[in-house]
Amino acid sequence: MLEKKSKNKNKHSELRQDIVTGDWVVIATGRARRPEDFSKNGKGIENENLDNVQDCLFCEPEKSGQEKDVLIYKRPDDEWSLRVFPNKFPAFSHEDTFKKLEEGPYFSMTGTGYHEIFVTRDHFRHMPLLEELEIAEVFDAYQERYLSLMNQRHVDYVSIFHNHGKEVGASIAHPHSQLMAIPVVSPYLELELKGAERYYRANKECVYCLMAEYEIEHKKRIVFENDEFVAFCPFASRAAFEVWVLPKKHKPYFERIKVEEKIKLAEVFKKAMNSIYHSLDNPPYNFYIHTSPCDGKDYPHFHWHIEILPKTSTWAGFELQTGIEISTIQPEIAAEYLRKQI
């Protein structure tokens, strides 16, 4: 049932749909800023001194008033090594009652869902600097929270991502990842899902398996591989030094990863991240997991993977107008340079 939006200020975040393209936009009132804040060139962002450990909100989450943990891993000495808790300023909230909304010709819905933070213990050791077993623990936490949320009402997709550096959206310097369990599937992922299915119907094979097999055979864009996973610079890299990490075997669902596979994944992921860290002198970066949605449908043609995007340039007029990104180095050269750092 559709509900008319009140003229009063909406306390909920909203998912608003572009009437032309079908793309979704989140209006995140839970982290709202005043109009005048946008003239401060970022000075209004919480925790402005990003490297000040004394002011860090995540070093001792209880003392800074974070929400109660939904997951915590501890070391043999009973000190925590990783913890997960709800975001204090969520873009999506399970406390919101799900409603579809309308305004004239436009469509939106409440931002009902879950928004959680994954925090590793050491303030200064982000992903490239962790040991392989520590990285495997991070992936274990991703999987555990994914499995806990994927069957909740109004959750059709679970987005897991990591921002490192203020330039790419990390308003807190302490290493942390985020999870958003949301009621829609992103248009970007929809393009991948449809493209993978279209390719399979035309060629009777998985397009991601084909890419991985070709890269492994020809080696020129490979960064690192073991017997389970491969890291390579994509042929059509959107950014300089972009790297994808794929399971070699066809696997549509990240959440079904096994314990031994997480160890193998951690090895390849560590090598890829470490090579980017040393090659580009600790650049800002984002990485995220693309996996099949949890909307009750089957996606046998998809192949889950991780996309790592160092921040090496800024979108300008051409990119914004066309959606065509300009990368200033051939992925073959980027991969060769990354390999030398391993």
Residue at 6: amino acid letter: S
Please give the Cα distance from 190 to 206 (Å, whole number): 16
Statement to judge: residues 181 and 192 lie in one domain: no
Neighbours of 329 (CB within 10 A): 14
Statement to judge: residues 334 and 204 lie in one domain: yes
Statement to judge: residues 205 and 176 lie in one domain: no
Statement to judge: residues 175 and 193 lie in one domain: no
| Among candidate residues 170, 169, 174, 82, the one with its CA nearest the CA of residue 126 | 174
- CATH number of the domain to which 158 belongs: 3.30.428.10
Residue 262 lies in a domain: yes
pLDDT of residue 96: 74
Please give the Cα distance from 221 to 273 (Å, whole number): 15
Please give the Cα distance from 214 to 211 (Å, whole number): 5
Please give the Cα distance from 314 to 319 (Å, whole number): 9
The CA-based dihedral angle spanning residues 165, 166, 172, 177, taken in that order and rounded to the nearest 10 degrees: -50
Residue 164 lies in a domain: yes
Domain that holds residue 117: 9-34+45-186
Residue 334 lies in a domain: yes
Statement to judge: residues 225 and 256 lie in one domain: yes
pLDDT of residue 5: 45
Statement to judge: residues 76 and 212 lie in one domain: no
Please give the Cα distance from 114 to 26 (Å, whole number): 14
Residue 252 lies in a domain: yes
Please give the Cα distance from 58 to 116 (Å, whole number): 13
Residue 39 lies in a domain: no
Residue 1 lies in a domain: no
Statement to judge: residues 21 and 160 lie in one domain: yes
Give the number of C-alpha atoms closer than 13 A to the C-alpha of residue 271, restricted to the C-beta side: 21
SS3 193: helix
Statement to judge: residues 102 and 83 lie in one domain: yes
Statement to judge: residues 148 and 173 lie in one domain: yes
What is the pTM for the complete model shown? 0.90
SS3 308: strand
Among residues 169, 186, 203, the one where a domain terminates is 186
- Which positions of the chain have pLDDT values less than 50? 1-10, 42-49
Neighbours of 55 (CB within 10 A): 14
Among residues 161, 186, 211, the one where a domain terminates is 186
Interacting residues of 146 by C-beta distance below 8 A, sequence separation 6+: 158, 160, 179, 254, 255
Q: Is 259 exposed, middle or buried (0-12, 13-18, 19+ CB in 10 A)?
A: exposed
Distance of CA 296 to the CA centre of its chain: 22
Distance of CA 79 to the CA centre of its chain: 27
Statement to judge: residues 97 and 200 lie in one domain: no
Q: Between 132-149 and 259-279, two packed helices, what is the crossing angle to 10 degrees?
A: 120
Among residues 186, 218, 235, the one where a domain terminates is 186
- Token readout for 273 is 């991240």
Residue 291 lies in a domain: yes
Statement to judge: residues 206 and 164 lie in one domain: no
Q: What is the pLDDT of residues 247-264, one digit of tens each?
A: 999 999 999 999 999 999
- Token readout for 241 is 């030094």
Residue 67 lies in a domain: yes
Statement to judge: residues 201 and 181 lie in one domain: no
100 within 8 A of 135, measured Cβ to Cβ:
no
How many domains are contained in the chain?
2
Distance of CA 11 to the CA centre of its chain: 26
160 within 8 A of 289, measured Cβ to Cβ:
yes
Report which DSSP code applies to 26. E
Q: What is the pLDDT of residues 207-227, one digit of tens each?
A: 999 999 999 999 999 999 999
